[in-house]
Structure 1
Amino acid sequence: MIHVVSAHNKAEYKSYLRQLWQQRYDVFVEKMGWSLDCADGIERDQFDRPDTVYLLCIDEKDRLKGGMRLLPTTKPHLMSDLFPHLCAEGVPSGDTTWEISRFYSLTGRHMMLERDKTASELICGLYEYALMNRIEKVSCVASMVLFPTILKAGWDVTPLGLPTVTDDEVILAFLIDLNERDYKTVAQNRKITESVLYAPNLREEQWEIAV
């Protein structure tokens, strides 16, 4: 289940946010070798702000299995401050465009299926949250290695510029359209047949996906 954590309910998720920043350190610094300016054991930066929205995948045993960060592009965000050179025609911004970053799911040698389930729920949770909050597009910077997988998943993706090499990794900036048509395609490809979003503060009922 995907939990939406924002300024309205962060107090209820303090322990999960501590786990989030610890897991991000393990994934991005320890495993992926990113050169990030962070304290030992904690990956938390200037974009983890009071207005940051998190999507957290929490399983039935209350374990945090993965997460994603969302930022409004009308304020400073990762692409505007650190990667504007990746956008040939300027960094996209606006009330209906948000940025996603620090997207991960816990992985392991014997956890491939669980990894896929976590990623699938996070992706579909993003679509659900966006459709409920009039978010039409999300921007992202990601490794080119992931780009074929993103396209195959059914996302409507527009590159914002040419790939470039950073820290020995080829990265690309792009926009993703978030609409109901593509949501149904992505959900079907990911074998998600019902709502994954736990957000009692946003709505009263869950709704099934028509696929």
Structure 2
Amino acid sequence: MIEIITTENIHLYRTEMDEAYRLRHDVFVDEKGWRDLAQADQREIDQFDNEHALHMICRQNGKVVGYQRMLPTTKPHLLSSVLADLCEVERPVGDHIWEWTRYCVAKPHRERGRALSPVANALLSAIVEWGMESGVDRIIIEMEPIWLLRLVQLNFMVTPLGIPREIGGDSVVAVVAKFDHRTLQMLQAMRGNSKRVLKDCPPSAVVAAQ
């Protein structure tokens, strides 16, 4: 199951968050080569890992194997503060729109071919479940353009916010992706069950989104 971590309960997840920050460093610094994010302690942490961030982790056998971070667009976030050049239209802002960042899955748990891995499916399903319970129906994503078709196939309604730009050697495009019950149904169909993937959310995970 996917666990949500906020400023309210992060003190209970010190070990898990340490593993998550190290997974982020492995993926974004060591694999992707984003050397600007490199840290001597091998923990990738930035200015958005603050009291407004909502972290989601996936654990298997007690170890963090998947992670993603949600940021409210009503507060400073990547598109507003770091990657503003990716947006060529009026920037989407609102309590119902959050930014999806730092998505990463440990190597042994990634998809092979076109199908989403169980961990990837659970992380995406968690966004939709959380959003539908919290009044959130759109996410901003900065991603490689190849993901556009994948998201459409998962029943996200995707709108580019600008043209792709070269960032750190990668082509990156910003999009806003709308989702609803059809998105969740597609993800459930892909994994073959309709079981809830989210554990009980701390109150701040829902209140913060309203």
Match of 1:185, SS? helix
State the distance in 2 between where 1:111 and 1:172 align: 22
- Give 2:142's aligned residue: 141
Alignment of 1:120-159 (within 5 A): 120-159=121-160
Partner of 2:27: 27
Q: Which moved more, 1:143-152 or 1:81-90?
A: 143-152
5+ residue gaps, structure 1: 203-211
* Structure 1 residues 70 and 200: CA distance shift in structure 2, 3 A: closer
> In structure 2, what is the Cα distance between the partners aligned to 1:200 and 1:159?
31
Of 3-12 and 182-191, deviating more is 182-191
Asked whether the 8 Å contact 1:84–1:90 carries over to 2, the reply is no
Q: Deviations over 1:76-117 (max 9, x none)?
A: 001111111111113211111110100011113x8647x711
Task: Quote the residue 1:39 is aligned against.
Answer: 39
| CA distance 1:159–1:112, shift in 2 (3 Å) | closer
- Pair 1:130–1:200, CA change in 2 (3 A): closer
Higher relative contact order (CA 8 A, sep 6+): 2
- Identify if the C-alpha distance between structure 1 residues 168 and 3 changes in structure 2 by more than 3 Å, giving closer, same or farther: same
Quote the offset at 1:32 in angstroms: 1.2
What's the secondary structure of 1:36's corresponding residue? helix
> 2:11 aligns to what?
11
More off after superposition, 181-190 vs 133-142: 181-190
The one-letter amino acid of 1:183's match is: L
Structure 1 contact 67–104 (Cα < 8 Å) conserved: yes
For the pair 1:184 / 2:177, whether they are aligned, the reply is: no
Matched, 1:194 2:195: yes
RMSD of aligned residue pairs (Cα, Å): 1.9
Q: Normalised by the size of structure 2, how large is the TM-score? A: 0.88
Contact 2:3 / 2:199 at 8 angstroms: preserved in 1?
A: yes
Q: Structure 1 length normalisation: TM-score? A: 0.88
Identity of aligned residues (%): 26
- TM-aligned CA distance change 1:4 to 1:186, over 3 Å: same
Alignment-derived partner of residue 118 in structure 2: 117
What is the CA-CA distance between 1:152 and the residue it aligns to? 2.2
4+ aligned runs moved over 6 Å, structure 1: none
- Alpha-carbon distance in structure 2 between the residues aligned to 1:150 and 1:19: 27
In the aligned structure 1, how far is the partner of 2:193 from the partner of 2:103? 19
SS of the aligned residue for 1:147 comes to helix
2:16 maps to a residue whose letter is Y
> Which residue identity is paired with 1:146?
W
Counting matched residue pairs gives 200
Q: Distance in 1 between matches of 2:181 and 2:111?
A: 28
CA distance in 2, matches of 1:185, 1:90: 30
SS of residue in 1 equivalent to 2:155: coil
Other-structure match for 1:77 = 77
**1:39/1:181 CA distance change after superposition, 3 Å:** same
* Structure 2 Cα separation of the partners of residues 192 and 43 of structure 1: 34
Q: Aligned partners of 1:111, 1:92: CA distance in 2, in Å?
A: 30
Q: Which runs of 5+ in 2 are unaligned?
A: 204-210
